[in-house]
Structure 1
Amino acid sequence: MDSMQRLSASDLVYLLPELVLVGAAVLLTLLDLFLPKSAGRHTIGVLALVSLLVSGFFAFQQLGMENPVSLLSGSFRVDDFSALFKLILLGSTAFIVLLGLGQEEKQGIVHRGEFYYLLLPAVLGGMVMASSADMITMFVGLETLSISSYVLVALAKQKTVSNEGAYKYVVMGGISTAFILYGMSFLYGLSGSTHLGQINAALAQHGGSYELLIYVSFFLLLTGFGFKIAAAPFHAWAPDVYQGAPTPVAAFLAVVSKGAAIALMFRFLFNVYYGIVDPNVSALENDFFLAIGVLAAAAMIIGNAMALKQTNAKRLLALSGVANAGYLLVPIAAHFNTIHFSNAAEMMYYLIAYALMNIGAFALLMIVSSSAGHEELRGFAGLYHRAPWTAIAGVLIVISLAGLPISGGFFGKLFIMFGTMQVQKYWLAAIMIVTSVASFYYYFGLIRQMFMRPGDDAQEVRVPWNLGAVLWIMALGGLLLGLFPQWVLTALNDLIALSVDLFER
């Protein structure tokens, strides 16, 4: 009640991005119940898209604020860090909604309206995670995203593979939540607070006497977060879940769910564990960031190695996502020093590139699988001869996925690698280079199929307007990101002031 009393009417302005989605989710649920079956469910999809755009407009208004705003007794922060992440999550979800329009039946989604109005609370949970400055708020956002995602994976109810994937996702998601809660309990016991800044202060003051418990809390949380972002060795669920889920849902898991978890990890780990000890006195902090680096390295190596032998396109993209989780973890592992403090901007740049190339890849997969009747890589055979412009857009997507010049994916990895070398983590930069080169093999397998393998000319490739639009927007977006990388990175660096926008002290 105390928190609610402190939330004045004027404070609601800062919650407009979230409130729009809450209202839209309730409205669309009621519309889906009362609309006659003769009325197309495209109406719900279009309204969901409009609500995401309106929410994005209000999130955009929060960029460039001089001072962050803390709401609900400091548990919810509105700052440039959270606003940028919200725009990435909302924009990605809007394109995923566009992917689903008119494709529900082909994806096995029986109740079309559910797909659209369940996406709204899912992305809402991700937005809350990006703004969380308290463990309770963080957990509420995490579970809002997770529970909605469990249902989304199971929307293709008549497919055994979808039911199996949803079951595995629920079980593994529940296990990861248990790890996170257990880790939080140690932090609460050590500090007597759920607020991130207060936990950091308590650990800095008394942590020297409880180093073992701090280690336990960190590794429990890192395990839980590892499951959420599908970083190896906590990734085993991802290929089965992606394969079973409807393709737009798989795109949501790959981009929005992973991006929200990365935002949460960045804010949480730095706010709680950074600066609690003098590195010259204790190895505690160095050990923590070394562990994150090892997790990143394992994800890059295992994800790329397992993708080499995949023949199913969805499973390949899932394992590619495991490797990319490693790349996104590297800026966290690199942490900060006097000559390198652009970790957040480097991570956001790569996340934008990752969103563009992955949503584009799933759009290409939907076009090809609709024609071929399956999701195997052989379905891409001869695509250039049947749909040349679609194949060209696919090449731009693959170039960005592989990290070749000139593409957003290339500069995203390059900026992260340079940052890693500035803090003298050369071994991590070397792993990035080697695994990126290894990924060329399976990414160029797609190009080989499209241009160098004979396909069935009788199979007509129909490109629905929405899938074609998403594919080309993502392809050209990745290209533009690669043509003007310094502009984007400079803009991100100018917006984010770490001492103001990230640290809760």
Structure 2
Amino acid sequence: MDLDKLLSFQWGMMTPEFLILGTATILAVLDLFMPKKMNRNILGFFGLAGIVAAIVSLTLLLGQDTASILHDTFRLDSFAKAFKLLLLGGAALVMLLAIDYKPKEGMEEYRGEFFYLFMTALLGAMMMSSSGDLITLFVGLELLSISSYILAGIRKKNTRSNESAMKYVINGGISTAITLFGMSYVYGITGTTNLREMAGLLSQIDNPQHVYILGLAFLMIFVGLSFKLASAPFHMWAPDVYEGAPTPVTAFLSVVSKTAGFVIMMRVILSVFAAVPSNDSDLPLLFSMQDYIGFLAGATMIIGNVIALRQRSIKRLFAYSSIAHAGYILVAFSAMSVVMFDSIWFYLLAYLFMNLGAFAIIQLMTMKEGTEDISHFAGLYRRSPLLAGAMAIFILSLAGIPGTAGFIGKLDIFLGALMVDPAHYVLVSIMIATTVVSYFYYFGILTQMFFRPAAHHEKIALQPGTVITVIICAAATVVFGIMPQLAFDFFNSNFNQFIDFLQ
């Protein structure tokens, strides 16, 4: 490829990615040459500035028509724009938590590594959002995964952090192998890695044996990506990793990484398998596989919520809560209604604010007390009424109580599952039942904060980055709960129902 051809591409559509890549590179170089005793938090602020610049550049691209470069391997469509906003917004809030994070065993010598690895993980997630090719999807997935493995074990002197990183690497390697094996079947049948070309070729398949192989490919890709989502029964790594990883990394995995998991699942499965004809009916193969997705969604909701009842560690409890919420989103994915994209995007938006806000307060409490036991939340209302009030907002939203963004998110998924024919009554029933079960452990935290006496009445020192995160998250959780149309109007006016997703 000559220079003129290279310069003819519309590189401007990759401005957010270039900003994140440039920031990560500069952070790595600065960390290398900065004096060892110099405070690395300045790198965190520089990284935050890079994320904000990427958000600004992305908002300037919202009105741009759908375009692609490099033989359609990178697509800037409404799907990519919508989910990149979630990824970048979540990353900015996590970065604020990371700047304030100071574990008792110390992490200063690795803090610079933390910031630029965080940026590379974000870059991988953003690449997945815009990928139109299996190769770039896989590269983005591995960039996110490998950075996340290192971040989970960044506290090198902490045995639980080391254990969590090891379990994460092993489970992540297995899931990657399964996913890649499934992708290889699709490539073997079509002879291309481009998603649009695949869809065109697969729509003409009439060999029953090829359809059977594609069914196996679907199951392997779906199972492999289910590890990334921490959906049952592939969730076994999540509680240990969430507990052992630094709290900002746990927040990143529960929100940004989970969003990226749903992004790649929708990109691959909807782009490829919605075009494959089924042997048994006139519907595409994807609709024949709805029962498998529904079964996984039901199992994920049940296992996540039931096991959470027995947890005493707040981070393990939120790990199982995160598993349960993946199940709720899988209900929308299983139903495949006309409002599927709206429901999933809004739920991930609501989940971003309510979960990150809760983790901001968890970080303050665990750094102060040196332990993650729920009992240390006792009497929080008397020690810090504002923190207790904000935590109550996040807990009520996670539980799906009316007046919060979490309630609107669950209601959208609920209605979407009922509007299809046939309606998913079993999944909806499981969703309602498990939501009621979640009240027991969510309200257990509220009981500790408001109705249990505190062991001591020492005030909690507030940190600026964490306070900003809590305020933003609490305000957004309430506003989108009372006026959800603000988010839906923004979605409809800027992303046009993702009609360009398969074009």
Q: Per the shorter chain, which TM-score range?
A: over 0.9
Aligned to 1:86: 84
Change (3 A) 1:306 1:78: same
Instruction: Determine the C-alpha separation between the residues in 1 that align with 2:5 and 2:183.
Output: 25
Match for residue 100 of structure 1 among 98, 101, 119: 98
Q: Secondary structure at the match of 2:100?
A: coil
- CA displacement at 1:367 relative to structure 2: 1.3
Deviation, 1:354, is: 0.4
Residue 402 of structure 1 contacts residue 439 of structure 1 at CA under 8 Å; is this kept in 2?
yes
Rate the CA distance shift 1:69–1:282 in 2: closer, same or farther, 3 A. closer
* 1:306 equivalent in structure 2: 307
Q: In the alignment, is residue 174 of structure 1 matched against residue 170 of structure 2? A: no
Deviation per CA, 1:442-466, whole angstroms, max 9, x where unpaired?
0001100001111112443222222
Question: What pairs up with 1:153-192 in 2 under 5 angstroms?
Answer: 153-192=152-191
Deviations 1:415-469 (A, max 9, x none): 1110110011222222111111111110001100001111112443222222122
The residue correspondences of 1:251-290 to structure 2 (distance < 5 A) are 251-277=251-277, 280-281=281-282, 284-290=285-291
Count of residues in correspondence between the two structures: 498
Q: Alpha-carbon deviation of 1:135?
A: 0.4
Deviations 1:259-291 (A, max 9, x none): 011011112111111142267446833332221
CA deviations on 1:62-101 (whole Å, 9 max, x unpaired) are: 2133x31111101110012111111111111111110111
- Alpha-carbon offset, residue 308 of structure 1: 0.9
2:121 and 2:473 mapped to 1: Cα distance? Answer: 22
Alignment check: 8 A CA contact 1:108 1:155 kept: no
Task: Name 1:198's counterpart in structure 2.
Answer: 197
Pairing 1:19-168 to 2, within 5 Å after superposition: 19-65=18-64, 67-106=65-104, 108-109=106-107, 110-168=109-167
4+ residue segments displaced more than 6 Å:
none
Aligned to 1:487: 486
Residue 370 of structure 1: CA displacement?
2.1
Superposed counterparts of 1:237-386, under 5 Å: 237-277=237-277, 280-281=281-282, 284-336=285-337, 341-386=338-383
Retained in 1: the 8 A contact 2:300–2:323?
yes
1:235 — aligned with what? 235
Once the 2 structures are TM-superposed, how far is the Cα of residue 373 of structure 1 from its aligned partner?
A: 1.6
Measured against aligned partners, the alpha-carbon deviations of 1:309-339 in whole angstroms (never above 9, x if no partner) come to 1110000111111011111222221114xxx
Instruction: Give yes or no for contact 1:371–1:459 (8 Å, CA) kept in 2.
Output: no
- CA, structure 1 residues 307+394, in 2 after alignment: closer, same or farther (shift >3 Å)? same
Q: Please, which runs of 5 or more residues in structure 1 have no aligned partner?
A: none
Identity %: 41
For the aligned residues, what is the CA RMSD? 1.7
- TM-score by length of structure 1 reads 0.95
Shift of 1:185: 0.4
SS across alignment from 1:77: strand
Structure 1 residue 105 displacement after superposition? 4.2
Query: Counterpart of 2:94 in structure 1: which amino acid?
Result: I
Deviates more, 1:410-419 or 1:284-293: 284-293
Q: Conserved in 2, the CA contact under 8 Å of 1:104 and 1:112?
A: no
Aligned match of 1:399: 396
Q: Which runs of 5+ in 2 are unaligned?
A: none
For 1:96, give the aligned amino acid: V
Residue type at the aligned position of 1:68: T
